[in-house]
Amino acid sequence: MAMPAAVSRSATPARWQDFVQLLKPRVMSLVVFTAITGLVCADRPIHPIHPILAAVAILCIAVGAGASGALNMWYDADIDSQMRRTRGRPVAAGRVQGADALALGVVLSLFSVMLLGMAVNWLAAGLLAFTILFYAVVYTMWLKRSTPQNIVIGGLAGALPPVIGWAAATGSTPLNAWLLCAIIFMWTPPHFWALSLYTSEDYAKAGVPMMPVSAGAASTRKQILIYSLLFTPLCLVPAFTGLGGVAYLAVAGLGGLVFLVLAWRVFKSRAGDAADPRQDDGLYDVKAAAKDARNLFAFSILYLSLLFATLLAEHLLDLPALSKVIP
Amino acid sequence: MSDPARETEGEARARRGRNIALALGLVLFVALVFVVTIVRLGANVAQQPF
């Protein structure tokens, strides 16, 4: 396994905000949101989890996600410094030393897993440890630099937080928990490939074999459509397994249709085909052909957020599942 | 030429900020372990047969 190349050190001293940035707060917020959804959806009316322990569980999951982000930034500093989207990251920009990012990642990983295990249960802690290791070692150190399937397989790390939340609440991981995991897992390829269709130049420059770089834009557009055709029906399933209600079915169905239309437009477009004559600072200034890819990328975030928000709202408001409305 | 061993004002401010953040993190962690212990002990006591 190759060690990351050294990144030149900036004259600016590291501020505490740089260390917060190492934890990828935006990714962390999505992880927290899906983990809360898993925790709340795990109905356990007889012995519900203590609210303080639930909050500790979510905090541990968030810190664990942040730790894997720090490990990712430590290892990928050489790649990050070559891409416009990531060159401002603390290690890539030289504001934080790689060794400090590594130390922060390892310490926070150990603390979050141990605290989750001792405070809540060891199934949730084990799943959190697996998630951190999978993201930092399997995805970051191995898959990302070696295969165009990197985000397909690596997407498992991002899909596990609702299962960890569910395990924290109940000590078990039933089919419905894994269904939430499967939805995020199947969402990841069309989401990331839509993004990579209009940032493929950066990935190519950094030597990351993202799908448009190694298989070409046309193949990527076709695979986006195939994954979308598998993903959108999967989103309907929770309505028939006692997890989602009428509102969920409506959001999943209507949103799924929009998702499919946008994926079809990407398939028919020429997104990612030609070199993109962008200005150096205009990261997302995409040309007309890539607009369809950008629309799908933006809608994919909205759609996943809506799905989980609807599930969360239905369970918080104690609305009946579809199977109880229509027996 | 400036002395490399001498800390500039910006470096001192950044170091102070990092130290305060670290101290707050440690205090939060201690408080968290304390609260978790109380909650877990309370639950165990409540479940104990008398």
Please indicate, yes or no, if residue A7 is contained in any of the structural domains.
Answer: no
Look up residue A232 and give its two tokens: 């959108």
Q: What pLDDT digit, counting tens, does each position of A103-162 carry?
A: 999 999 999 999 999 999 999 999 999 999 999 999 999 999 999 999 999 999 999 999
- Nearest CB among B18, B36, B40 relative to A14 is that of B18
**A235 in the same domain as A154:** no
Q: What is the DSSP string of A213-244?
A: HHT-HHHHHHHHHHHHHHHHHHHHGGGGTTS-
**A164 in the same domain as A50:** yes
Q: How close is the nearest chain B Cα to the Cα of A17, in Å?
A: 9
Q: What pLDDT digit, counting tens, does each position of A172-181 carry?
A: 999 999 999 9
**A127 in the same domain as A71:** yes
Please name the residues in contact with A263: beta carbons below 8 A apart, sequence gap of 6 or more: A190, A224, A225, A228, A229, A296
Is residue A8 classed as helix, strand or coil in its secondary structure? Answer: coil
Q: How many whole angstroms separate alpha carbon A124 and alpha carbon A133?
A: 14
Chain A residues within an 8 Å CB radius of B36: 52-53, 56, 115, 118-119
The confidence score (pLDDT) of residue B11 equals: 87
**A319 in the same domain as A257:** yes
pTM for this model (two decimals): 0.89
Asked if the C-beta of B10 comes within 8 angstroms of chain A's C-beta atoms, the answer is yes
- Nearest CB among B10, B11, B35 relative to A52 is that of B35
Q: How many whole angstroms separate alpha carbon A284 and alpha carbon A325?
A: 45
Q: What is the DSSP string of A183-218?
A: HHHHHHHHHHHHHHHTTHHHHHHHT---HHHHT-HH
Test the A interface: residue of B13, B34, B36 with most A CBs within 10 Å:
B36
**A120 in the same domain as A30:** yes
Q: How close is the nearest chain A Cα to the Cα of B11, in Å?
A: 6
**A216 in the same domain as A322:** yes
- Nearest CB among A12, A16, A56 relative to B17 is that of A16
Question: A115 vs B32: CB contact, 8 Å cut-off?
Answer: yes
The confidence score (pLDDT) of residue A301 equals: 96
Which residue type, as a one-letter code, is found at position A313?
Answer: A
Q: What pLDDT digit, counting tens, does each position of A77-99 carry?
A: 999 999 988 999 999 999 999 99
In the A/B pair of chains, how many CB contacts fall below 8 A?
36
- Chain A: residue whose CA lies nearest to B22: A16
Q: What pLDDT digit, counting tens, does each position of A28-72 carry?
A: 999 999 999 999 999 666 778 899 999 999 999 999 999 999 999
Q: Provide mean pLDDT across the span B12-36.
A: 94
Please indicate, yes or no, if residue A285 is contained in any of the structural domains.
Answer: yes
- Complex prediction ipTM: 0.81
Q: What is the DSSP letter of A149?
A: T
Question: How many domains does chain B contain in total?
Answer: 1
Please name the residues in contact with A258: beta carbons below 8 A apart, sequence gap of 6 or more: A299, A303
Domain boundary among A110, A144, A173: A173
Q: How close is the nearest chain B Cα to the Cα of A275, in Å?
A: 42
Angstrom distances, CA of residue A31 to CA of A60, A63, A251: 11, 10, 21
**A240 in the same domain as A185:** yes
**A231 in the same domain as A114:** no
**A326 in the same domain as A178:** yes
Is residue B11 classed as helix, strand or coil in its secondary structure? Answer: helix
Q: What is the DSSP string of A265-299?
A: HHHHS-TTSS-----SS-TT---GGGHHHHHHHHH
Calculate helix-pair angle for A246-268, A291-316, nearest 10 degrees: 170
**pLDDT exceeds 70 at position A299:** yes
Q: What pLDDT digit, counting tens, does each position of A303-322 carry?
A: 999 999 999 999 999 887 77
- Nearest CB among B18, B20, B39 relative to A52 is that of B39
Q: How many whole angstroms separate alpha carbon A292 and alpha carbon A105?
A: 37
**pLDDT exceeds 70 at position A2:** no
Q: What pLDDT digit, counting tens, does each position of A275-291 carry?
A: 555 545 555 545 667 89
Please indicate, yes or no, if residue A211 is contained in any of the structural domains.
Answer: yes
Question: B18 vs A50: CB contact, 8 Å cut-off?
Answer: no
**A320 in the same domain as A195:** yes
- Nearest CB among B17, B39, B43 relative to A15 is that of B17
Q: What value does the mean pLDDT of chain A take?
A: 90
Asked if the C-beta of A138 comes within 8 angstroms of chain B's C-beta atoms, the answer is no
The confidence score (pLDDT) of residue A274 equals: 63
The confidence score (pLDDT) of residue A7 equals: 56
Domain boundary among A173, A196, A211: A173
Question: How many domains does chain A contain in total?
Answer: 2
The confidence score (pLDDT) of residue A229 equals: 98
Question: B36 vs A115: CB contact, 8 Å cut-off?
Answer: yes
Q: Which domain holds residue A254?
A: 174-327
Q: Which domain holds residue B23?
A: 4-46
Q: How close is the nearest chain A Cα to the Cα of B45, in Å?
A: 15
Q: Mark residue A282 as left, alpha or beta (left: phi above 0; alpha: psi -120 to 50; beta: remaining).
A: beta
Asked if the C-beta of B28 comes within 8 angstroms of chain A's C-beta atoms, the answer is no
Asked if the C-beta of A237 comes within 8 angstroms of chain B's C-beta atoms, the answer is no
CATH at residue A30: 1.10.357.140
